[in-house]
Structure 1
Amino acid sequence: MSITDPNMSDRFTSAMEEIHNKHLKIYSDIIDTTTEQSQSHRQFVKTALDACLKKCMDDERLFETIQEFKKDLEQKSKSLKEKQRAISEVMSEVQEKEMQKEDVIQKIEKLTEDQTRRKALIESQNKVNKNKLQNLQKARLVFQDHLALEIRTVIDKTQLVKSEKLQFVFRNINPSDQNNAYVITMGIKENGSYQIVSSDPVLDCLPVLESRLQETNNLPAFLANVRKEFISKARC
């Protein structure tokens, strides 16, 4: 037809341009509609998001308020239970004291009787101790005056806790030098037993003497044996 009709090509071109223009208008309308709907959707989403955020904040404040009320209620409930327990304990103590009243009276009477017996026992023990003290004084005179024994108190400052020790200084041991000192140092352990710290000069048999002292608890006999060992060592 383009061969037989020279205008056919122009009409075809015009028709194609018209179709193209229609498509462009349709596309333009679609783009405008899409843009308008997109803006409307963005505005809807923004409004919905703002509403959700406000709702979340309101819910968080409400939740915090509920938690505060809950904590306050728990504290009041705990305080009430403690007061109830305290009242119950006081009532129990009052009842227990009422029940123990007779027992206390009986115990007081028994303590009075025990005190009377202890007083009599103490008086008797004092008499015995007085006799022992007299014997110890005699022994002291023998050791100090006749055997020249000197007793010293030594404070040990090297330890974390200061402790007192006793030094027994023997003289009249060495015939060539009567004033020469022979010393043994003793302490007392926490359990009350004697502890030999050192001797000057050193006695080889000191552990045996210490063991015997632990068994007999006889300090004068121990000192007498130590003196004998010092005399034996001085004569060697």
Structure 2
Amino acid sequence: MTPPLDAIFREMIFLFFFTEIWARKYREGELMIEKVLEFRKDVDRQNRLIEEKQEDIIREIAKLKDNEEQSAELAEHIRTLREELNKKKEMALANKKANKEKLKELQKSAALFKNRLGLEIRKLRGDKLQFVFRCINPKDLEEPFSCIIYFNEEGEYQLEGCDPPLECIAEYERKIRETKNFSALLANLRKSFAALCTQVK
């Protein structure tokens, strides 16, 4: 017995709708699979980017550590240089102060030497002193004989500008640096100038 047409028609409609639903679900499933695959690709891409960023961050951290170490070394070097500079400044100031004290002592003695020994002491620029000897030449007691004496940067005696020139000036300079006997230096200068006067005769 054949089923009635209505039943066949209903079954066909049911199958059609079922097939449509199934096809739609299948398409939705495929779309879902595509979306899942795209999502996985996005996740993989994001993971790669995160790994790259992490590597960049690690490199930057390493650079920062290197920079911090270099900065610390540089700061230590600068501190050491400053300490050395301060020590040198202190030494220079101490030398300058000592030189000024020596100069004051010499200036105090100037009047005494001028009156008793015919010695005049003139202060020149740059903390230099010019010693002018008189009463040496018996023919002209006012004839000047001079020598410039000062302290160099190391705080040692320096002699220059003898008039008339003396050949023994380097020897006198060496002796005064060794002995610090200033009176002996002045006496030797006077003797050398006096010897020049006798040679002229």
Pick the TM interval, shorter chain.
0.3 to 0.5
Please identify the structure whose Cα radius of gyration is greater: 1
What's the TM-score, normalizing by structure 1? 0.40
Higher relative contact order (CA 8 A, sep 6+): 2
What's the TM-score, normalizing by structure 2? 0.46
